[in-house]
Amino acid sequence: MFKAVLIEKDEAGQRVSLTEVSEDQLPEGDVTVRVECSTMNYKDGLAITGKSPVVRKFPMVPGIDFAGTVEASDNPDFKVGDKVVLNGWGVGEAHWGGLAQKARVKGDWLIPLVPEFTPEQAMAIGTAGYTAMLCVMALEKGGVTPEKGEVLVTGAAGGVGSVAVAVLAKLGYDVAAVTGRVSEGEYLTKLGAKRIIDRAELSAPGKPLMKEQWAGAVDVVGGQMLANVCASMKYRGVVAACGLAGGFGLPATVMPFILRGVTLAGVDSVMCPKADRIEAWLRLAKDLDPALLESMVQRLTMDEVIPTAEKILAGEVRGRVIVPIK
Ligand code: NDP
């Protein structure tokens, strides 16, 4: 038996508990991992509260991320004792996830843990941080260099935002951080933001084209904010869009794209090919100051996972939430 957060659903509705499950219940997979640390992302908040139908099979163990040690393997790429990381692939949605002492997955979904990080540090980064790195890589691919001008990060005090600010600042970009919590200004400045912008300034419906301000942008908010960000990009600027914390709509016009050559680059971490994942983790090992991770992290015990889900959805959690699994 091992401990797991379990989401069950029947005619009476959805129930979530911290419970004991048997190893026989683990799903199919060729690698079994002793989970050392997991996380709580926005999507885990949605899964646990049932506010959005992200869980596609019941019962389900949530947790879209984990890091741990291989306990059994029929996969030639992994042997017992290897340290591994998993992000996404529908784990915690369609396949049992990381908020448990054990996980069994397809070895193809795993990547080796880079030696620069402990399992806890890898989870302090988690899907949020690895997505932030994919966004930075998308800006670079689009030719956004520090000399081109200021870059904007929305939802900056959240998980993706915090890592994006830290990485971009370390790479030499001038980072403007948008937050609804100006009280987090000092935190964001310590991560490397040069300028803090109140969310309210970018939330109201704007014009199809506004003053050219940003060479690049990482947007986790979507909705009106993403429309306004696109309308304020400099000529040939690049917006990496990865989130919907403010809504999934996009009340925009084509004007920034056809008159300023702006690129809207979509970023998905879940089905991202393995080579890009490995590149993103190697880049994180090089371009993220691990000393900053501690300021971003809040640790929860497994008992605290369920009550924290609502807080994540309410945007009340700063930075990253990790769950060391004992
Ligand atoms: P967090 O909850 O940690 O952060 C989201 C941040 O967005 C909040 O901290 C807040 O920042 C801001 N925010 C929240 N609500 C609103 C609102 N109504 N309007 C404007 N800003 C708001 O989540 P993550 O950083 O983990 O994820 C951010 C988004 O990215 C989510 O939508 C998530 O689903 C998505 N995501 C997508 C991935 C992909 O593969 N495409 C992977 C990972 C995440 P502040 O307080 O600073 O304003």
Instruction: Using DSSP bridges, classify how beta strands 31-40 and 102-105 pair: parallel, antiparallel or unpaired.
Output: antiparallel
Pick the residue whose CA is nearest to atom 1 on ligand 1. 158
Identify the helix (H) or strand (E) that includes residue 35: strand 31-40
Confidence of residue 143 (pLDDT cuts 50, 70, 90): very high
- Quote the ligand 1 centre to 42 CA distance (angstroms): 7
In short, whether 74's Cβ falls inside 6 Å of ligand 1 is no
Cβ–Cβ < 8 Å for 39, 88: no
Asked if the peptide bond before residue 76 counts as cis, ω within 30 degrees of 0, the response is no
Write out the E strands in 279-318: 297-299
Cβ–Cβ < 8 Å for 184, 318: yes
Whole-model pTM?
Answer: 0.94
* Chain Cα centroid distance, residue 230: 22
- One-letter amino acid of 110: L
Going along the chain from its start, the domains and CATH numbers come out as: 2-113+290-324 (3.90.180.10), 125-266 (3.40.50.720)
In short, whether 270's Cβ falls inside 6 Å of ligand 1 is yes
In short, whether 188's Cβ falls inside 6 Å of ligand 1 is no
Residue among 221, 312, 321 to mutate when testing ligand 1 (max atoms within 8 A of CB): 221
Write out the E strands in 155-268: 175-179, 195-198, 214-219, 233-241, 263-266
- Quote the ligand 1 centre to 151 CA distance (angstroms): 18
Q: Which of 18, 70, 88, 99 is nearest to 242 (CA)?
A: 88
**pLDDT, tens digit, for every residue of 253-285?**
999 999 999 999 999 999 999 999 999 999 999
In short, whether 129's Cβ falls inside 6 Å of ligand 1 is no
- The pLDDT of residue 318 is 78
- One-letter amino acid of 100: A
**pLDDT, tens digit, for every residue of 8-50?**
999 999 999 999 999 999 999 999 999 999 999 989 999 999 9
Q: How does DSSP classify residue 41?
A: -
- Quote the ligand 1 centre to 29 CA distance (angstroms): 31
In short, whether 131's Cβ falls inside 6 Å of ligand 1 is yes
Pick the residue whose CA is nearest to atom 29 on ligand 1. 243
In short, whether 180's Cβ falls inside 6 Å of ligand 1 is yes
Identify the helix (H) or strand (E) that includes residue 34: strand 31-40
Sign of CA pseudo-dihedral 162, 85, 323, 49:
positive
Q: Nearest 10 degrees: CA dihedral of 184, 137, 264, 152? A: 30
**pLDDT, tens digit, for every residue of 62-79?**
999 999 999 999 999 999
- The pLDDT of residue 261 is 98
Which atom of ligand 1 has the smallest separation from the CA of 177? 47
Residues 6+ apart with CB under 8 A from 44: 62, 63, 64, 92, 97, 99, 309, 312
Which atom of ligand 1 has the smallest separation from the CA of 156? 47
Q: CA 141, CA 133: separation in Å to the nearest integer?
A: 12
